[in-house]
Amino acid sequence: MGQIQRAQRIYREGGLRGLAGAILHKAGMGRISPGPVAETPYLDWLTFANAGMLDKGNIDSMDYAIRNLPSAAPMIEIGSFCGLSTNVLTYLKEKRAARNRLITCDRWLFEGAANGEPLGDSTTVTHEEYRRFVKESFLRNVRLFSRYNLPFTVELFSDEFFESWARQEKRPDVFGREIELGGPISFCYIDGNHSYEFARRDFENCDQYLECGGFVLFDDSADDWAFEVRRVIDEVKHTGRYDLIARNPNYLFQKISSPSTPERFPTATLDQKAA
């Protein structure tokens, strides 16, 4: 396809914003493509030993966000599992000399789990034993791989975490320290409950505190995945307040403006657009 025809197609599909994005991408600005960050020897060893599910494209998106943070405000991770993404974020912080605190939250109570019930069709392992094992794995992994720059990890559901954030509470973390929550956020990695209701609420809470110029990365949001978080992606696009930075294959957005009214999400309007 010729350059003129390509520009015409981009303009038809994305208007002036899409055309500007294409120009910036051509100039190597604004958009990212998969890079070599996820292929370092250290990360190879880390991902061999640290259990977890982390697409390598997420690592490049995290690195882009950390290299372009708008301030020294904290970075937030919602959902930590066995600590793989937590350790990757710590590694990238060190690599980029970022001084932002990393604050994570997880209750290690998984979707569909009941504490007294067997784990799936197991006759020997219960959900409660699995929960304890995963939490202990997180503590062990992070104490080793992030020992010189321990994150603050609060054992709360994300709704509880943001309620504490709004009240600027002091909370104990799982490593026996105390942290005062609250204030602006520079980056949020959303990897908690993937149902629409929870993922949307996680974004709404994040959006309330995310600085202009800050980033939000949605795990498991790729176009070919069936998780309900995909519906939230459509709604973020329709706010007009976020730029799409990467689809790698999961979605990384940068906040470009704050809402002009206290109502962050006009629910009916966005639900109709997502339908």
pLDDT band at 116 (very low <50, low <70, confident <90, very high): confident
pLDDT band at residue 35 under the 50/70/90 scheme: low
- In the chain, the percentage of residues whose pLDDT exceeds 90 is 70
pLDDT of residue 272: 36
Domain 35-274: assigned CATH number: 3.40.50.150
Q: Quick one: average pLDDT of 130-141?
A: 96
pLDDT of amino acid 274: 35
What is d(CA 101, CA 19) in angstroms, rounded to the nearest whole number?
A: 36
User: Can you tell me the distance from the alpha carbon of 238 to that of 272, in angstroms, rounded to the nearest whole number?
Assistant: 11
Residue 99, SS3? coil
pLDDT of residue 5: 44
| Range picked from 4-18, 21-35, 258-272 for highest mean pLDDT | 258-272
State yes or no: pLDDT of 153 exceeds 50: yes
Say how far apart CA 134 and CA 137 lie, in whole Å.
5
pLDDT at 273: 34
Average pLDDT over residues 21-34: 44
- For CA atoms 64, 61, 200, 238, the dihedral sign is positive
Q: Mean per-residue pLDDT for 100-126? A: 86
pLDDT class of 115 with cuts at 50, 70, 90: low
The helices-and-strands tally (H runs, E runs) of the chain is 9, 9
- Segment of 1-15, 130-144, 220-234 carrying the highest mean pLDDT: 130-144
**How far apart, in whole angstroms, are the C-alpha atoms of residue 233 and residue 151?**
27
Task: Give the pLDDT score at 120.
Answer: 85
The reported pTM is 0.82
Ranges 31-40, 55-64, 99-108, 249-258: which has the least confidence = 31-40
- What pLDDT is stored for residue 270 in this prediction? 36
Domain segments of the chain as ranges: 1-31, 35-274
Average pLDDT, the chain: 85
DSSP readout, 194-249?
Answer: -SHHHHHHHHHHHHHHEEEEEEEEETT--TT---THHHHHHHHHHHSSEEEEEESS
Cα gap 198→103, rounded to integer Å: 19
Report d(CA 139, CA 58) in Å as an integer: 22
